[in-house]
Structure 1
Amino acid sequence: MSLLKDWKLHIIVLFFVLIGEAIGVKQFNLGVGTVALFPMLYVLIMGGIVSFPKLKLMNETQMKRAAGILGISFLLFVAKLGSMLGPSLPKIFDAGVSLAVQEVGHVLGTIIIGLPIALLIGMKREAIGATFSIDREPNLAIISEKYGADSPEGRGALGVYICGTVFGAIYLAILAGFLGSLGIFHPISLAMGAGVGSGSMMAAASGALAVTFPNDAEDIALFAAAANLISTILGTYLCVFFSLPVTARLYEWLEPKIGRLRKEAAK
């Protein structure tokens, strides 16, 4: 009931929604592609601004209540997607191999690309936690169980988790819209890529894709939800048995080489 009593929070949310809908969808041509901005993106940015501590527009209690409301909202969103998944199971089964393979990119992309970059910018064992996955809630639990929450690996995972929470949805929304405008990738492939294991990131990316491909909006939501579910379930096991051990082993091999290169460049 306390959620309903906080009238200031609900007024702010309603105000942001009205502003977002009033602005509508905006597209900017960058020459090589188009960036699509849509209402959810504006609301995310406005929410980040008003929750900035120095502005003192919202206190910590209100932010915690907002997080609770967000959780309820995503339950409704997931329920809606679930109602779409059932009737469309034949489509999902037809794309079964593709849905399974897309998880490989989520795992290997963070390790192969992320780990060397983390080492080049000076991270030590924090790089293991920061790059073995995209570090959402199940991945934080894995790192905490293996190394401890206050370990370097735990701090690296938590740092990526916070960055993903603050910037992830905005980044994926812009990236998905831009990649869709290039005309290189099929909209369903991009929809599968949007399912990274985070409800907010998936919603932002699939929303941008729906703006770019309005005729495929329903299938985009469907396949993004299916890919997100697979990433959450299958990705947990992949992180435990594959990506975390591989990242730790690669760190031991790469750190002496890349760390030495960075020290030599700094001289």
Structure 2
Amino acid sequence: MKQSKKEKSLLSNWKLHIIAFVFVLIGEAIGVIQFDLGVGTIALFPMLYALVLGGIVSFPKFKLLTEGQMKNAATILGISFMLFVAKLGTMLGPSLPQIFEAGLSLAFQEVGHIIGTFVIGLPIALLIGMKREAIGSTFSIDREPNLAIISEKYGADSPEGRGALGVYVCGTVFGAIYLALLAGFLGSIGIFHPISLAMGAGVGSGSMMAAASGALAVTFPNDAEDIALFAAAANLITTILGTYICVFFSLPVTARLYEWLEPKIGRSRKKGAA
């Protein structure tokens, strides 16, 4: 469906602005809700409500928004995150000595992305029946730079490309909600330091980082500024350093592991195969 000239103009986005404003009012009116699970607490906060309401309103069957308006909303979201990152940048400058002091910790947080992707994800993908799509879906967390890497190596139409795109779409739709709930729960357990959780929130996605760091800020209000600071620094490192790790390590190792593991644990393997 092509966008009309009216939808392309800035003034035609009034409906989106009103909907967003209403969602903000609803979210702030509800406030923070916490559920005690015994071993920890799950915190629901205003941004999470806005994400859920936005998903409901944009559901195609409801026909509340056109495809063109949804594309405009995605563009506006990108601009909003630019402002958010600019704000974080003003916090990063004065705190550079503090970030340099935690330099090795910030660098080593990238190891978690490796363990959580192909070390754990690849065997699970093979056990549920995925084939070469498993390479694209588990070699990284599959954000924009990772999609470019897999497209350049295998092609966007390849099984590997479809696997990477599938994880990208799932991360876009569910990632922020999932990380917000997970971060709030892990923070409430009391095992992890809030700064270490903030570093873990930097997964290379602005929306996921904002959701996770927002949940942590609710759980640790006294450390809210440091949480935003280290989450932004970790997110930047993941985007830059993680790209090179994916090119020279994660993707080649994942492809090699696939060739070794698929005959052994792949669901469709023939009986008696080695």
TM-score scaled by length of structure 2: 0.94
Describe the SS at the equivalent of 1:87.
Answer: helix
Describe the SS at the equivalent of 1:88.
Answer: helix
Give, in whole Å, the separation in 2 of the partners of 1:192 and 1:234.
14
User: Aligned pair 1:36/2:43, yes or no?
Assistant: yes
Structure 2 counterpart of 1:94, one-letter code: E
Give, in whole Å, the separation in 2 of the partners of 1:62 and 1:13.
13
Given that 1:3 and 1:65 are in contact with CA atoms closer than 8 Å, whether structure 2 keeps it comes out as no
Aligned counterpart, 1:151: 158
Matches within 5 A, 1:58-97: 58-97=65-104
Give, in whole Å, the separation in 2 of the partners of 1:108 and 1:214.
30
The alignment-based identity, stated in percent, is 86
Give, in whole Å, the separation in 2 of the partners of 1:76 and 1:186.
28
Give, in whole Å, the separation in 2 of the partners of 1:5 and 1:235.
39
Give, in whole Å, the separation in 2 of the partners of 1:179 and 1:169.
15
Aligned counterpart, 1:110: 117
Q: CA deviation at 1:263?
A: 6.6
Aligned counterpart, 1:233: 240
User: Aligned pair 1:221/2:228, yes or no?
Assistant: yes
Specify whether residues 182 and 263 from structure 1 end up closer, same or farther in structure 2 by C-alpha distance, changes over 3 A only.
farther
Give, in whole Å, the separation in 1 of the partners of 2:135 and 2:143.
15
Give, in whole Å, the separation in 1 of the partners of 2:54 and 2:173.
10
TM-score scaled by length of structure 1: 0.97
Q: CA deviation at 1:249?
A: 0.2
Given that 1:197 and 1:232 are in contact with CA atoms closer than 8 Å, whether structure 2 keeps it comes out as yes
1:56 to 56, 63, 66: 63
Q: CA deviation at 1:143?
A: 0.4
Describe the SS at the equivalent of 1:36.
Answer: strand
Specify whether residues 262 and 40 from structure 1 end up closer, same or farther in structure 2 by C-alpha distance, changes over 3 A only.
farther
User: Aligned pair 1:180/2:187, yes or no?
Assistant: yes
Give, in whole Å, the separation in 2 of the partners of 1:111 and 1:64.
32
Give, in whole Å, the separation in 1 of the partners of 2:186 and 2:102.
21
- Detail structure 1 runs of 4+ shifted over 4 Å in the superposition: 260-264
Give, in whole Å, the separation in 2 of the partners of 1:263 and 1:204.
44
Describe the SS at the equivalent of 1:175.
Answer: helix
Q: What 5-or-longer segments of structure 2 have no aligned partner? A: 1-7
Given that 2:122 and 2:138 are in contact with CA atoms closer than 8 Å, whether structure 1 keeps it comes out as yes
User: Aligned pair 1:199/2:199, yes or no?
Assistant: no
Give, in whole Å, the separation in 1 of the partners of 2:47 and 2:116.
27
Give, in whole Å, the separation in 1 of the partners of 2:52 and 2:97.
38
User: Aligned pair 1:2/2:9, yes or no?
Assistant: yes
Given that 1:103 and 1:235 are in contact with CA atoms closer than 8 Å, whether structure 2 keeps it comes out as yes
Give, in whole Å, the separation in 1 of the partners of 2:116 and 2:201.
14
2:249 to 219, 238, 242: 242
Given that 1:3 and 1:69 are in contact with CA atoms closer than 8 Å, whether structure 2 keeps it comes out as no
Given that 2:201 and 2:231 are in contact with CA atoms closer than 8 Å, whether structure 1 keeps it comes out as yes
Aligned counterpart, 1:209: 216
Q: CA deviation at 1:5?
A: 2.6
Structure 2 counterpart of 1:254, one-letter code: L
User: Aligned pair 1:190/2:162, yes or no?
Assistant: no
Given that 2:48 and 2:177 are in contact with CA atoms closer than 8 Å, whether structure 1 keeps it comes out as yes
Aligned counterpart, 1:121: 128
Aligned residue-pair number? 264
Describe the SS at the equivalent of 2:94.
Answer: coil
Structure 1 counterpart of 2:25, one-letter code: L
Describe the SS at the equivalent of 2:43.
Answer: strand
